[in-house]
Amino acid sequence: MTNLPIYPLTDEHKMIRDAARDFAQKEIAPIAAEFDESGDFPYATIKKMGDLGFMGIEIPETYGGSGMDALAYVLALEEICKVDASHGVIMSVNSSLYCHGILKFGTEDQKKKFVMPIASGKAIGAYSLTEPQSGSDAGSMKSRATRDGDSYVLNGRKSWVTSGPVADYFVVFMMTDPEKKQKGVSAFIVDGKSKGLTRGKKEPKLGIRASATSELIFEDCRVPAENRIGEEGEGFKIAMTVLDAGRIGIAAQALGIAEAAYEAARQYAGQREAFGQPIGAFQGTGFKIADMKTRIEASRLLIYNAAIAKEQSKQSGGRYSLEASMAKLFASETSMYVAHQAVQIHGGMGYSRELPVERYFRDAKITEIYEGTSEIQRLVISRSELGIK
């Protein structure tokens, strides 16, 4: 075995990666299977992650974060997800989907009031774009925000909100001018305790079961106008910009799951014997190991590249949609492929709840779906390459 990755990490990168690895092994590994089984939200470990600065790695210290770069965030997220993808997505939504949009488009007051508690891990943030009838076609949302004096009145139903049942604050997208379609969407910060906001039933899920997901129901929910992010009509652009950041996080999550599944399969292939030799000595298994490892390392390069592109965009203001979509597409499909092969290499034991391999298989699937399906990533990449709008 070589010591991949051969990648120029700074001492700070290595420090945060090792700290996340250590935390995940000591604090999350012992409880991951139990919380997957119960579907309970892991409040205690998420609180500890907040205390250690993992909930706002990339957020400037002025706003309660750890002030590190995009690559540091990806490295830490990967380590958390090697152990448990549920903790990983809570961290990712908090940092990328919630904080990122307010940081990039919000006012100074909004950053102080609504990023500080979330980045420092004292509260949990979530992002709410999808509706029962609009997932991939996000611009066709039906929910309405109507201006009334110094506030907006929000009505509608949002679905598939990660951390929906537990979040303290939400970034919510609603139509302020439906005739303008995507250009009629606006973004708001909503306090989870607002009157007129109800959390729907918690979704029973195949994987990432310790991450809580629900609908949000808005019935005449009044939000101060000062909680609008950016101008009226800028919401769709904000939602898409934020998803570019989020997709790198999901790619890192996918990579972490794939690495865990791969390592389990590699060890099993060396130990388990059949027909008088370790199963890894059969080319049928050995070639699977080769493909798994190669795809994992290719994913890593795409993800680290996307993280560097994101970091550069903080200076240039440019977009990194292509890099983010390629990283998410390749890493999520790799994760599903690797987890599938890991179950197969384990045979019956791969299907058993006694080992975590079946959990990796169930957790990997969502990375091909949320924050833009693989089909949407292909759409973004092909439109970008062909110059099609």
Tell me how far apart the alpha carbons of residues 370 and 207 are, in angstroms, rounded to a whole number.
12
Residue type, 62: T
Q: Point out which span in 135-143, 198-206, 289-297, 335-343 binds ligand CAA (CB under 6 A).
A: 135-143
Residue 54 interacts with ligand CAA (CB under 6 A)?
Answer: no
Helices (H), 39-185: 43-51, 70-83, 85-92, 100-105, 108-110, 116-119
Q: Is 371 a catalytic residue?
A: yes
Q: Point out which span in 57-65, 168-176, 232-240, 354-362 binds ligand CAA (CB under 6 A).
A: 232-240
Greatest CA separation found in the chain? 79
Q: What is the 3-state secondary structure (H, E, C) of 82-103?
A: HHCHHHHHHHHHHHHHHHHHHH
From residue 67 to residue 106, the character string flagging contacts with ligand CAA as x (rule: CB under 6 A) and all else as - is --------------------------x-------------
Q: Point out which span in 42-50, 158-166, 301-309, 331-339 binds ligand CAA (CB under 6 A).
A: 158-166
How close are the terminal C-alpha atoms of the chain, in Å? 45
Residue 19 interacts with ligand CAA (CB under 6 A)?
Answer: no
- Please count the other Cβ atoms lying within 10 Å of the Cβ belonging to residue 380: 21
From residue 359 to residue 388, the character string flagging contacts with ligand CAA as x (rule: CB under 6 A) and all else as - is -----------xxx---x--xx--------
- Locate 7 and state its tokens: 């990648």
- Locate 288 and state its tokens: 């699977």
**Sequence-distant (≥ 6) Cβ neighbours of residue 155 within 8 angstroms:** 143, 144, 145, 146, 218, 219, 220, 221
Least distance (Å) between residue 246 CB and ligand CAA: 7
* CA 75 to each of CA 81, 223, 244, 251, 296: distance values in angstroms, whole numbers, following the listed order: 10, 36, 17, 11, 14
State which of residues 90, 119, 129, 187 lies at the interface with ligand CAA (CB under 6 A). 129
Q: Which of 273, 358, 371, 375 is catalytic?
A: 371
From residue 298 to residue 337, the character string flagging contacts with ligand CAA as x (rule: CB under 6 A) and all else as - is ---------------------x-x----------------
Nearest residue (CB) to ligand CAA, 268 versus 370: 370
Binding site residues, ligand CAA, CB under 6 A: 93, 127, 129-130, 136, 138-139, 160-162, 182, 236-237, 240-241, 243-244, 319, 321, 370-372, 376, 379-380
Active site residues per annotation: 371
